[in-house]
Chains A and B, each alone.
Chain A
Amino acid sequence: MNELLDKLLRPLAHNARSPLNSIIGTSDLLLEGAYEELNARQTRAVTRVRRNGDKLLMLIEDTMTYIKAELGELNLMKSPFDPRSTILNTLDVLKPQAEKNNKVFQLHLADSIPPLLKGDDPTIHRILLAVCYNAVLYSDEALITIESDYVDERWRIRVTDCGPTIEEPDKIFEPFWRGSTVVVEGLSSGYGLGLPLANALARVMGGCVSLEKYSGNGNRFCIELKLNG
């Protein structure tokens, strides 16, 4: 397995970057009007090419990050950050998509959360983004609840959506597994890497992402990270 990884997958990830550079670079030049001004239809078409170049790049980067996390090859920072800001920044990123689809975030932050924790803030932001985006993507109803507290050196963030109950909970953390649930109109459903990657990254931090038993209507994910103040 490791031989296949080193001989095939890692070189593929590196070599794919050259054609992607041409796709993204040439699209940007076209959109910039470097060759000639595009009309509206041409702009939409080139924007589509550009967007899909980004998607391919993200697919490659997420796959490699997942592999590195699973193999223990990821080196994470341990810098002080404000956990409340991390949550708020994540929700700010998702707000436009949430509002467009009539979703509202309800936030409950416990007093037990320290003002500063030590960890890799960009990676934590990435985990939060994946779990919260999943809630926006699959939630039927308006409300998405985010609750956070800090107990025994563990920072917990629970994200509860109002989507249909996940039918195969044991599979949602398998890479590239995609359920049959219909996503919210107008949002990209991704490749089935968001939650597995979030879980793999959380595990690097001595925690995990899990689907908790929830008696209400919807699903509740819990992000648990072992972080010191």
Chain B
Amino acid sequence: MSKILIIEDDADLCETYTDILTTDTCQIESVHSTVAALGRMRRFIPDVIILDMQLADGSGTVILSYLESAKLNKRVKVIIISGHLPLAERMAKYWKVDSCLEKPVPHTKLREVVFNCMEKHE
């Protein structure tokens, strides 16, 4: 079963992503802050992370930096979804992130990108 971690400070949007991506073959968890995300990843190593770059308690770069230091950056696929595309694209390039999308992401596009990442992971 594939594991998806949604890191997004808008709780409604977390729920929307979860509803869009729910299938029998993946387990989805969501958190709303960098602190909660780092805590969750102690017991839940996802295959795919959906990452908002502007979280209430800090930048999404905290998560990208953690993945690199924990040597998880090759194992975990990251999809940045941001309201500020130019900034997010710069970050994605710097951190060699798999995909970068601008909000609002069409639901079909989100499924396509996430499921592609999951296939690559398998």
Contacts and interface: CB of A to CB of B under 8 A. Distances in A.
Interface string A10-32: 00011111111111111011001
Contacts of A13: 83
9 contacts: A14-B54, A18-B8, A18-B13, A19-B10, A21-B16, A25-B19, A26-B16, A28-B106, A29-B107
Contacts of A22: 10, 12-13, 15-16
A61 to B, nearest CB: 10
B98 interface: no
A166 interface: no
A15 B55 CA distance: 11
A19 B16 CA distance: 10
A8 interface: no
Max count, chain B CB within 10 A of own CB: residue among A17, A26, A29, A32: A17
B20 A20 contact: no
Contact of A17 (B17, B19, B20, B83): B83
Given A15-B83, A18-B10, 6 more contacts: A14-B84, A17-B83, A17-B103, A17-B104, A23-B104, A25-B104
Nearest to A16: B83
B86 to A, nearest CB: 10
Contacts of A211: none
A17 to B, nearest CB: 4
Interface of A: 13-26, 28-29, 32, 34, 53, 57
A150 to B, nearest CB: 34
Interface in B1-40: 8, 10, 12-13, 15-17, 19-20
Contact of B104 (A20, A32, A34): A20
A28 B20 CA distance: 9
Given A17-B102, A18-B83, A34 B19 contact: yes
B104 A24 contact: yes
Interface of B: 8, 10, 12-13, 15-17, 19-20, 52, 54, 82-84, 102-108, 110
Contacts of A15: 83
A24 B12 CA distance: 12
Given A29-B107, A57-B104, A14 B83 contact: yes
B104 A21 contact: yes
A25 B21 CA distance: 11
A29 B15 CA distance: 12
A201 B82 CA distance: 26
A25 B20 contact: yes
A29 B19 CA distance: 8
Max count, chain B CB within 10 A of own CB: residue among A13, A18, A19, A57: A18
A22 B54 CA distance: 17
A11 to B, nearest CB: 9
A22 B10 CA distance: 9
A227 B33 CA distance: 49
Contacts of B20: 25, 29
B105 A21 contact: yes
Contact of A21 (B13, B19, B54, B84): B13
Max count, chain A CB within 10 A of own CB: residue among B17, B19, B54, B104: B104
